[in-house]
Structure formats: structure tokens, C-alpha cells
Structure 1
């Protein structure tokens, strides 16, 4: 059997096992529930309000933005945190010591994080079906759009999370760097408000990154066609959405492996012990 293919299969199996463990871990389930519940509470509070000047329920306008943000936040922040912690506790070093160990390691992490993100998206959609008027009328085409946008969002966010996680010196720095990245992108993405309200140059910056296009795509799937009037050019721009997300996915998938390999080459027992000593000094 091809060693790389064997490592991929082992990685998939390990990712499924880790996901099952997450679903039975009180701490992991609590974190997922609390993160998703915060979004659900917002929908609940907006259930009787309408978007000013329209008959569109405010919750219906908010839900696509939440889904668009949930995918990169859950996957990217999860990848950053997991990679930085496992550099420090020796997991990455053990994977590096095994034949094709890094391949299996990356496949397992992608599998477990993807499944966790999909579960969060499903929970969010189920809550939306109860709290958002008209969502039950979304056709098969709309739900297929949500599905492929979730897939593209994962492909464009997970490699970015791996890159950010490999650059962070410790878990604390990784957490700060990931939240700063997500917060900055959210602020200029128009994910929760019409991007036309921003200055022209900020609109240009927002359209460089995948978060804006994820929000736009989710709105195109779940909102009526007339809502496109509030978008740039008065259109959902499905072709541009697909091209930008695919481009980010390709760039990330090409850039992440060599960066991770470079990081893995620098891993050693002495380097791990040095990080542990520094961590103990911070605690002490």
C-alpha cells in the first residue's frame, strides 16, 4: 500500500475518533453549545423585528451573516488553537517522528475540525428554522448553496488557521492572533450590515478576503432576490463568490503544507522543553 495513502486513511480514522470524543467530552460540548447559543440568542431577540424600511424579518437578515462568520471562526480559530497547543505538548513532535506522520496528523485535524464546524452550522440552521420566518420556504437550490459555501469556507479557512497557528510562539499568542485576525476581518466585511455603508477603499479591502464572500453567498441562498438591491452592484455575484473562495482555498492548500513542514523541521525535544520552561515561568 502507498505509504502516503495509508497515512491519509489513518488520519481520517483518527479524525473520526477525535470527533466522537469531542461529542462525548463535557468541556468540548460546552464550548460548542455556548458558542452556538450566543448566536441563537441574538436570533431569538430579533424574532419579532423587521429590517428598517422593509418587511424583511431582522432575524432573516442576520442569520446568513452568522452562518458566514461561523464557518471561518470555528474552523480557523480551532485550527490555530489546536496546532499551537499540540506544538507545546509534544503531539506534533511525535507525529513528525513517524513515517508520513505529518500527513496523517494534518488529515486527522482537518477531519475533526470540519465535522465540528458542520455540526455547529447544522445546529444554527435548525434553530433558524424555528426562529426565522420564511426560512422553511428555502428551496433545494438554497440549501445546496449553503452546503457548498460551507465546504468552500472550510477549504479557505482551515489552511489559513494552520498558517497562523504555525507562526504563533505559544497558545496565548495564537489565541490573540487568531481573534485579532477574525475581529479585523469581521469589522470590514459587512457580514452583519450592508457593505455599501463603508468607505469605498474599505469595501475594496473587504472583497479581498473570503469572509465577505461567505456572507454574500449565504445571503444569496437564504434571502429573497429583492434583497440583492442592498449589495454592491445590486447583484449576488455568484460567479465572483465562487472564484474568490476557490482562489483562497487553492492558495491556502498550496501555502500551508510547506509552512507546516518548515515548522515541523524546527521541532525538537529541546525546543519543546524550552517552551515548557517558559510556560512554567509564566504560570509561576
Structure 2
């Protein structure tokens, strides 16, 4: 019993310190004009089509084009900004020596991961709230009185974040230089193209549908559409259903696997970090400027 308590104590302290670190980073982002602008500009760019297409309707339907785009914007916001933002921050802070300093602290990498997940999750949830409120203000088909909308978002958004944030940490640990961070976007956009974000996945070949269903992006998009689109639009989905239980199951599996794998991957990466390795990376960057 004593051993278990002693083991759990430092881990619990690392989690608490990680949450505090995440809250501090979030406060710094919100109070820094440059950081805040950088996080909002891309969001306004994604929301611009909603405004310009708010009066256009889909052929043979009363659904506004913007209403159909709204779930795609939310899915991209959650999956891409959550995964890519965490990966990008990890790569940058590995380069500047932050991870090397944390390596010396007990459970330092666990606290770091919790802190990054806290700050990035809060930022993404804020962006998703802006997307939803924008849809409510601009689109007739999205009502603030729809209890199903809020109930679905209440479980889908946190579970979706838990599914993609650890994956972002794993991807970030595989990239050594900030110049190569863009390589992460290539498979992400490829995955988005078959996940029903831009086009109904049910119209794709069956084997492509099965590939898409393995990854969380498809299920995040399906969950967003189930919250923001009328029930009748489930007919164009795979299986002609919103499949909430399957969505929760797949996202839950990704969340559990990621939360188990990401700390181990970060610890392994931290063991390879040293002052000489950091200096070597900087010298290579100076010899090969962008």
C-alpha cells in the first residue's frame, strides 16, 4: 500500500502541475495580442465562407450551403488545430531546449504533456464555441434551443480532443526540425479527403470507407454533422445513420491508446535529448537556412 501511494503521489503531482502549466499558457495566449491574433485569424478565414454562402441553398433542398459547411469547419477546427498545434509546439520547444530542461524533473514529461493538452484543448474548445455561435447567429437551421445539439457536442468534442491530442504529441516527437512540421499536414489532408469532411464518404469506394472508419477524423466529422445537421441528412452517411455508439467507441479507443502511448513516446524521445544533440540541430539549421 505504501509503495502504491508513493508511486501515485509524484504522478498525481505531475498531473496537477501540468494542468497549472496549461492554464498559465492559456492565460499568456489570451493576454498576448500577437498570440491571440494568430489563433483567431485562421478561424475567421474558415468562417468567411459561412457568411458569404449563408443565403445560398443546396440544390433540391432548403438547407443553406453554409449549414452544410458548418460541421466541416468544426471538424477541421477540432482535429487539425488540436493535433497540428500540439505537434508544432512540441517540435519548437524541443528545438529551444525546453524539453531538455523538463527531462531533469521527476515526471517532467508527463506534466509537460498534460499542460500542452490542457492549453491546446481549451483553445480548440473556444474556437469550436465560436464556430457554433456563428452558425446559430447566421443560419436558420441551427437553433440555440436544440437540446440535442448541445448534448451531442458535450460528449463528442471532449472525446474527439482526447482522441487527437495524444496523436499530435506522438507525431511531434517524430519531427526533429520546425522546418519539417509541414510534413505532418500532408497525411492529414489526405485523410480528410476520404473522411467525409469535404464530400460524403458513402459515395467513395467501400474499401476507402473502411480505411476512413479506422481513424478518428471520420468519426469527429460524423459527430459534428449529427449535432449540426437535421436528422434527415443521416441518409447520406455510411449505414444511413449517425452511429453515436460507434462514434463514442472508436474515439474512446483512440483516446485510451493515445494516452497510454504518448507519455511513453515522449519519455523515449527525452532520453535521447542532450545538450550536444540540441547544439547539433541548431548548427544544421544555421548551415541550411530556409
Structure 1 spans left out of the alignment, 5+ residues: none
Matched, 1:26 2:33: yes
Q: Distance in 1 between matches of 2:84 and 2:34?
A: 17
Could you list the structure 1 runs, at least 4 aligned residues long, displaced by more than 6 angstroms after superposition: none
Q: Distance in 1 between matches of 2:233 and 2:18?
A: 43
Q: Distance in 1 between matches of 2:95 and 2:81?
A: 21
Which residue number in structure 1 is paired with residue 182 of structure 2? 176
Q: CA deviation at 1:35?
A: 1.2
Structure 2 spans left out of the alignment, 5+ residues: 1-5
Which residue number in structure 2 is paired with residue 220 of structure 1? 226
Q: Distance in 2 between matches of 1:11 and 1:228?
A: 40
Q: CA deviation at 1:147?
A: 2.2
TM-score, normalization: structure 2? 0.93
Which residue number in structure 2 is paired with residue 68 of structure 1? 75
Matched, 1:84 2:97: no
Aligned-residue RMSD, C-alpha: 1.5
Which residue number in structure 1 is paired with residue 12 of structure 2? 5
Residue by residue over 1:192-214, the C-alpha shift from the partner in whole angstroms, topping out at 9 and shown as x without a partner, is 22112222221121111111111
Q: Per the alignment, in what secondary structure is the counterpart of residue 47 of structure 1?
A: coil
Contact 1:164 1:177 in 2 (8 A): no
Contact 2:136 2:144 in 1 (8 A): no
Matched, 1:261 2:267: yes
Contact 2:193 2:199 in 1 (8 A): no
The total of aligned residue pairs comes to 283
Residue by residue over 1:220-256, the C-alpha shift from the partner in whole angstroms, topping out at 9 and shown as x without a partner, is 1121111111111211111111111111111111211
Q: CA deviation at 1:283?
A: 2.5
Contact 1:12 1:108 in 2 (8 A): yes
Q: Distance in 2 between matches of 1:165 and 1:270?
A: 20
Q: Distance in 1 between matches of 2:107 and 2:262?
A: 16
Which residue number in structure 2 is paired with residue 281 of structure 1? 287
Which residue number in structure 1 is paired with residue 3 of structure 2? none
TM-score, normalization: structure 1? 0.95
